[in-house]
Amino acid sequence: MPKPLRILIWLTVAILGTLAIATIALHRGEQINAMWLVVAAVCTYALGYRFYSKFISAKVLALDAQRATPAERLDNGRDFVPTNKWVVFGHHFAAIAGPGPLVGPVLAAQFGYLPGTLWVLAGAVFGGCVQDFVILLFSVRRDGKSLTEMAREEIGRVGGFVAYVAVISIIVILLGVAALIVVNALKASPWGAFTIAMTIPIALLMGVYLRRLRPGKVLETSILGFILVMLAIWGGQWASQTPSVAQVFTLTAPTLAILLILYGFAASALPVWLLLAPRDYLSTFVKLGTIALLALGIIALRPTLHMPALTRFIDGSGPVFAGSIFPFAFITIACGAISGFHALISSGTTPKLIRREPEARMVGYGAMMAESMVAIMAMIAACVMQPGVYFAINSPAGVVGQAPEAAAATISNWGFTVTAAEMHSLAQAVGEQTLYNRTGGAPAFAVGMAHIFSNSLGGQAVMALWYHFAIMFEALFILTILDAGTRVGRFMVQDALGHIWKPLGRTSWYPSILATSALIVSAWGYFLWQGVKDPLGGINSLWPLFGISNQLLATVALCVATTIIIKMGKARYAAVTLVPLAWLVLVTFTASWHKIFNPNSRIGFLAHARQLASSAAPSHELSRLIFNDRLDATVTGILIFMVALILMESAWEWTRVVAGRKPARVKEAPFVATRFAEEQG
Amino acid sequence: MRKMRRFVEILVATLREIFDESAYARFLGRNGLNSTPESYAAFLREHDLAAARRPRCC
């Protein structure tokens, strides 16, 4: 293509993107079309990929097309396999995209669509995509080493230990909060509970079918599993309308929590092929299909956003979670903007599949852009609802009251009109008894998604089916995370305990399996139980804790990346990772400070504990709530202290290298020329 | 038309990789086996530990 034409095209993209961002940023008091968000996102990602990621590739990382990757050098057809870049892209995207980019933006929509959207775009282009890309490339240059191994080798032993603790912490908190989202979506919902319960025998059936009848035919089995899940959704309607069955599946939040804890324990101890693997396949199948369907639905419907650009809750008084835009919008949306968890994937399976170094750009930077787009779609799904409906679904009873009329009156007084009759008819339309106080983001996202789907295909008559499809979709992959996360956590604990007593490290020794599974399940189960019993809905305290731990893991990843960049002799370009690192340190440390010490009892854990202690006569229940607040404050404090340690150790390392007191030497695998260089130019 | 065919090929290859069908095919090729319940069980024994250690993101 001639250069002037290329310049013209990119100039057009830049102008269009600027126009779209100006439209979403400057419109006040009138509704805008969701397509402005889509155009702003597509143009921003295109410019970020074309110019910023290219700059990083060329100047900072100096991607070498002549250098063989571990997939080529260590090719064993098992872990290390040189794979087509589009295939690796799809594989990587399927691994990084979970419920986070769907739930975070839905919760952050309480500030209006503007803060979350801007953070998703800027956070992804300058933070998340950069983190995923550089960690992937550094892992590729170190034979696919993990983040914790790189932290230990490049920063020091403290770095390695902090990375390990950060990973375990984030897994435990993530599992607790993910389970809480499922509980809040399924409580008092016989249709949803029936459908999700049915996915367990379906997964077991798939496991047996795959192992005994059609070995290795995973796609075929997943399609069959998907058909069975669709039948389960349809059957859920029957279950909810048959009083004797509905009674069995109408479950309270504590009952659901206990069932999930038992399920998590069983799933962690059962053979992988029987439950974990088939559920993982089924969840991935549904996830990829639904994300594609949602994108098509938004483009087909081009819905109007009813949520204003900014709401009155930017002052920190929001009902969904308490706290002002800074820092809370930035920890509420992690996945979709920047997520430390991605660094685990980027230094896990993916680096062992990359065929040529330059392809790390498309896989690392590009797949994160795709996930960021999912977050934009979630923001749209939340904002197409009437704001009054959004707040009625997402506000806990402790804030708006238990009775429908009282909740509707409170929300209407905030300036977001909603009536009890409107909420009742919406609940009926989606086949639920009530939609009030369904905190956690999943039900609100499901209502938004059902709105988009039913208006694109099938009309209001199938709204209930689409709603329960969306609930099933979210719950299914959250349960997959519970299975996989509990097991990953169990292995990490076994690895560590194996240093103390060898048999505990044996992953096939049943006493060790049961003990470590129980340990991990108890840890996340405790957070889940705490959330279920929290009068403010649990999400108010647990989601920020999850956001903080996720962003702290990103801080660890960016510390590793900055250290390596400086040791590569590229200190002049260290700002590429240092700026997002500085931002995350500012955000997470401020958020942690607020969560521990803020005098507002809806924000600060200690203030809440003090309020409880002074508000009522002592009781066992009250003592437990106070203990939970103090525990949350302690966990936050320990996480912050650990990250401060790794920051100090990193800064010490940077200073010594830059001052010339330590040789700038990276621990990369030696250079070997690739045999793929010629065929691809 | 050729581009369309290439797109479908890549899509199928991606799905086969995501769903571990390619990994199973490589396993069969590496060990010179036919696809049977026994060889799939052997593949799962080799593959399970790696699959179980693979985190799924939030």
pLDDT score, position A510: 85
Q: Does A488 touch chain B (CB under 8 A)?
A: yes
Between CA A132 and CA A136 the distance in angstroms is 6
**CB-based contact (8 Å) between A439 and chain B?**
no
Check CB contact under 8 Å for B52 and A280. no
Q: Closest CB to A345: pick one of B28, B37, B57.
A: B57
Contact A550 B58 (CB under 8 A): yes
Would an 8 Å CB–CB cutoff place A349 in contact with chain B?
Answer: yes
Distance of CA A211 to the CA centre of its chain: 31
Which A residues 225-284 touch B at CB under 8 Å? 271-273, 276-277, 280-281, 284
- Average of pLDDT values for A525-545? 86
Q: Which two tokens stand for residue A480?
A: 């997959």
What mean pLDDT comes out for the span A10-38?
95
Kindly tell me if the per-residue pLDDT of B51 is higher than 80: no
What are the chain A neighbours of B54 within 8 Å (beta carbons)? Answer: 95, 348-349, 484, 488
pLDDT at A505 over 90: no
pLDDT score, position A680: 53
Residue A480, chain B, CB below 8 Å: the answer is yes
pLDDT band of A681, cuts 50, 70, 90:
very low
How far, in Å, CA of A115 to CA of A307, rounded?
12
Task: Compute the distance between CA of residue A99 and CA of residue A372 in angstroms, rounded to an integer.
Answer: 12
pLDDT in tens, A437-469: 898 899 999 999 999 989 887 777 789 999 999
Report residue A240 as tokens: 């909810």
User: How far out from the chain centre does Cα A201 lie?
Assistant: 27
Angle at A185 between CA A337 and CA A338, to 5 degrees: 10
Mutant choice from A75, A209, A219 vs B, greatest count of B C-beta within 10 A: A219
* Mean of pLDDT values over A547-553: 88
- Specify whether the CB–CB gap between A385 and A444 falls below 8 A: yes
Q: Report yes or no: A225 and A278 within 8 Å, Cβ to Cβ.
A: yes
10 Å Cβ neighbour count for A348?
21
Residues of B in contact with A105 (CB under 8 A): none
Tell me which residue of A673, A25, A105, A29 sits closest to A335, measured CA to CA.
A105
A 549-568 near B (Cβ less than 8 A): 550
Out of B23, B37, B56, the one facing A211 most closely (by C-beta) is B37
Which of A75, A280, A285 should be substituted to probe chain B, the one whose Cβ sees the most B Cβ atoms within 10 Å?
A280
Q: What is the mean pLDDT of chain B?
A: 87
pLDDT at A679 over 70: no
Give the range with max mean pLDDT: A284-298, A447-461, A559-573.
Answer: A559-573
Q: Which of helix, strand or coil describes residue A305?
A: strand
Q: Are the Cβ atoms of A484 and B56 closer than 8 angstroms?
A: yes
SS3 content of chain A, % helix, strand, coil (to 5): 75, 0, 25
Nearest CA in chain B to A482: B56
For residue range A114-159, list pLDDT tens digits in order: 999 999 999 999 999 999 999 999 999 999 999 999 999 999 888 8
Residues facing residue A68 across a β-bridge: A356
pLDDT (mean) for B10-24: 90
Higher pLDDT, residue A624 or A20: A20
So what's the ipTM on this one? Answer: 0.88
Name, in order, each residue with C-beta under 8 angstroms of B4's C-beta and a sequence gap of 6 or more: none
The tokens for A559 are 């510390």
Q: Do the chains contact at B19 and A219, CB–CB below 8 Å?
A: yes
Is the pLDDT at A313 greater than 90, yes or no?
yes
Count other C-beta atoms under 10 Å from residue A216's C-beta. 24
- A126: amino acid identity, one letter: F
Are the CB atoms for A124 and A338 separated by under 8 Å? yes
Name the token pair of A5: 């034409």
Distance separating alpha carbons of residues A606 and A601, to the nearest angstrom = 8
Q: Which residue has the higher pLDDT, B57 or A162?
A: A162
CB within 8 Å: B58 and A99: yes
CB contact under 8 A, B15 and A178: no
Distance from CA of B1 to the nearest CA of A (A): 19
State whether B46 and A215 contact (CB < 8 Å): no
Instruction: Using the predicted structure, report yes or no on whether residue A260 has a pLDDT greater than 90.
Output: yes
Over the stretch A375-426, which tens digit does the pLDDT of each residue have? 999 999 999 999 999 999 999 998 998 899 999 999 999 999 999 999 999 9
Inter-chain touch B44–A211, beta carbons under 8 Å: yes
Instruction: Work out the minimum CA distance from B28 to partner chain A, whole angstroms.
Output: 10
- Of residues A46 and A158, the one with the higher pLDDT is A46
Kindly state the percentage of chain A with pLDDT values over 90.
Answer: 68
Q: Is A218 at the interface with chain B, CB within 8 A?
A: yes
* A398 in Cβ contact with A315 (< 8 Å): no
pTM, entire model? 0.92
Tell me if B27 and A212 make a contact (CB, 8 A cut-off): no
Mapped onto helix, strand or coil, the DSSP state of residue A356 is: strand
Q: Is the pLDDT of residue A480 over 70?
A: yes
- Which residues of chain A neighbour B44 with C-beta distances below 8 Å? 211, 272-273, 277
A354, β-bridge pairs: A83
Is B17 in Cβ contact with A90 (below 8 Å)? yes
Contact B52 A488 (CB under 8 A): yes
Helices (H), B1-58: 2-18, 21-31, 37-53
Q: Does A217 touch chain B (CB under 8 A)?
A: yes
A214 touches chain B (CB under 8 A): no
Helix, strand or coil for residue A83? strand
Compute the distance between CA of residue A233 and CA of residue A230 in angstroms, rounded to an integer: 5
Higher pLDDT, A358 or A478: A358
B43, closest residue in chain A (CA to CA): A216
Residue A166: what pLDDT? Answer: 82
Do the chains contact at A78 and B15, CB–CB below 8 Å? no
* CA gap A165, A159 in Å, rounded: 10
**Chain A: residue whose CA lies nearest to B25:** A216
Would the pLDDT of B50 be above 80?
A: no
Phi-psi region of A591 (alpha: psi -120 to 50; beta: other; left: phi over 0): alpha
B6 contacts: CB under 8 Å, gap ≥ 6: none
Do the beta carbons of residue A275 and residue A483 sit within 8 Å? yes
CB half-sphere exposure, A318, CA atoms < 13 A:
28
Q: How far apart are CA B39 and CA B24, in angstroms?
A: 9
Interchain pair B27, A78: CB under 8 A: yes
CB contact under 8 A, B48 and A273: yes
* A61 vs A472 pLDDT, higher one: A61
* Chain B residue nearest residue A353, CA to CA: B17
Interface test with B, best of A85, A211, A272 (most B CBs within 10 A): A272
Gap between the Cα atoms of A625 and A132, Å rounded: 38
CA-based max dimension of chain A: 79
On whether any CB of chain B is under 8 Å from the CB of A369, the answer is: no
Taking the CA of residue A320 and the nearest CA in chain B, the distance in Å comes to 20
Are the Cβ atoms of A491 and B53 closer than 8 angstroms?
yes
The alpha carbon of A18 is separated from its chain's Cα centroid by a whole number of angstroms, namely 28
* Other CB atoms within 10 Å distance of the CB of residue A238: 12
Please tell me which of the candidates B10, B15, B26 has its beta carbon nearest to residue A81: B26
Using the beta-carbon criterion (under 8 Å), do B54 and A348 form an inter-chain contact?
yes
Q: What gap in Å lies between CA A116 and CA A575, rounded to an integer? A: 24
Q: How many CB pairs under 8 A join A and B?
A: 133
pLDDT tens for each residue of A22-34: 999 998 888 999 9
- Judged against a pLDDT cut of 90, whether residue A174 lies above it is answered with no
Measured between beta carbons, the chain A residues lying within 8 angstroms of B43 are 216
Q: Nearest by CB to B18, which of A90, A174, A546? A: A90
Residue A325 near residue A111, CB atoms below 8 Å: yes
Q: Which residues of A286-314 are buried (b: 16+ CB within 10 A; e: fewer)?
A: bbbebbebbeebbeebebebbbbbebebb
Which residue on chain A is closest to B57 by alpha carbon?
A96
The pLDDT tens digits of the residues spanning A267-278 come to 877 887 888 788
The whole-angstrom distance between B35's CA and the closest CA on chain A is 7
